[in-house]
Amino acid sequence: MDRIDCAVIGAGVVGLAVARALAMAGREVVILEAESAIGTQTSARNSEVIHAGISYAPGSLKGRLCVAGKAALYAYCAERGIGHRRIGKLIVATQASELPELDRYIALGAANGVTDLRVIGAAEARAMEPEVHCVGALHSPSTGIVDSHGLMLAYLGDAEVHGATLALQSPVLSGEATQGGIALQVGGDEPSTVLCRTVVNAAGLGAQRVAGAIAGMPAALIPPLYFAVGHYFTLARKSPFHHLVYPTGREGALRAHVTIDLGGQCKFGPDLSWRDGVDYRFDPTREPAFRDAIRRYYPGLRDGDLQPGYTGIRPRLAGPGSSMHNAATDFVVQDERQHGAAGLVNLFGIESPGLTASLAIGEHVRQTLGEARTGAS
């Protein structure tokens, strides 16, 4: 049986950020990835937005790590030459009854330490985005976009420079928490058993399955997993937008955000629906609902402008009817002080803003492992 210091399960943006943080702290790290490439699921199927930290519950891990991660991410991208733009965002109210929502965002942002938000009138909003119809808006200047694949390659490069190893097509089949460490059964072309001093379960959509396959991990402490599917439609012509544009509205209503990638391509989404597993099929019948929602703030959208884009799936911890930003859907970082399996850290429900928060999540996990060891000694 091979012995290693630390295994990080999952080579998405968060798993790579964790591996980077641990390797740079001097840990021996092996990254176990079931797929044939890094970042093929949630990390590759999102809007690539650097979130400001506006709408998360005060005191939540999402709020704290988003704001800290945003600052770290901008600095990191600038230092490493990773494609990004501090493009800014408008949250627009299309009718007077929605204007109080803008003040609510101001309050939530302030509670999370976001101090650069301001409410603007319709005229100023139109000067910033001439094609947008609204009666008022919230301007978030620190929202941005990033090349997520370039970011993941940089994280992997940092980890490897500090001694980490990436093992692709190496699915974790099962495990057992023992007094000597956590024994993992790893599949693939050359199945093996490895005894790990530390295991970080950053498997994203597979995190619950991995945790459930480790003997000694209490099943009652594994939260439920709901597969939250979002569709993105792309604009079949040049983007008329210069900022990200999000309409106000309650969760569950189709808001159809405007996002722009670094190449200038405009896309709308995501919406929200639910499936029973990892299923990336695109449902083109959702186009009429998208078109109606978009025209509330962008009346210039023409018939035929929308083309099917892609779908993404968020690992949500609460299902239909739950708010994306309440305590029940916060990030969960679970260590031996909660579940009793020495050396095991589980990351559950790492959805948006996981990309933005990735550097901060990596540092949080590094600190958590140090605290857990101190508490156990």
* Residues 127-180 pLDDT 10s: 999 999 999 999 999 999 999 999 999 999 999 999 999 999 999 999 999 988
Residue 166 shares a structural domain with residue 216: yes
Please report whether residue 63 resides in a domain. no
Model-wide pTM > 0.75: yes
Q: Count CA atoms within 13 Å of residue 89 on its CB side.
A: 25
CB 374 within 8 A of CB 29: no
Residue 99 shares a structural domain with residue 122: yes
Q: What are phi and psi of 214, to 5 degrees?
A: -100, 110
Please report whether residue 66 resides in a domain. no
* Residues 247-292 pLDDT 10s: 997 555 577 899 999 999 999 999 999 999 999 999 999 999 999 9
Domain carrying residue 362: 2-45+149-224+326-376
CATH number of the CATH domain containing 337: 3.50.50.60
Residue 124 shares a structural domain with residue 236: yes
Residues 6+ apart with CB under 8 A from 367: none
pLDDT > 50? residue 377: no
Residues 6+ apart with CB under 8 A from 374: none
Kind and range of the H or E run holding 32: strand 29-32
SS3 170: coil
What do you get for the CA distance between the two ends of the chain, in Å? 26
Number of domains in the chain: 2
Residue 136 shares a structural domain with residue 233: yes
Please report whether residue 68 resides in a domain. no
Please report whether residue 360 resides in a domain. yes
Closest listed residue to residue 7, CA positions, set 225, 171, 127: 171
The mean pLDDT of the chain is 94
What sign does the dihedral 371-374-375-376 (CA atoms) show? positive
Stretch 222-231: mean pLDDT: 96
Residue 266 shares a structural domain with residue 338: no
* Residues 349-368 pLDDT 10s: 999 999 999 999 999 999 99
Query: Can you read off the two tokens belonging to residue 173?
Result: 């089949």
* Residues 292-313 pLDDT 10s: 999 999 999 999 999 999 999 9
Please report whether residue 250 resides in a domain. yes
User: Measured between alpha carbons, how far is 206 from 11 in angstroms, rounded to an integer?
Assistant: 12
User: Measured between alpha carbons, how far is 25 from 273 in angstroms, rounded to an integer?
Assistant: 40
Residue 137 shares a structural domain with residue 236: yes
* Residues 53-64 pLDDT 10s: 998 999 999 999
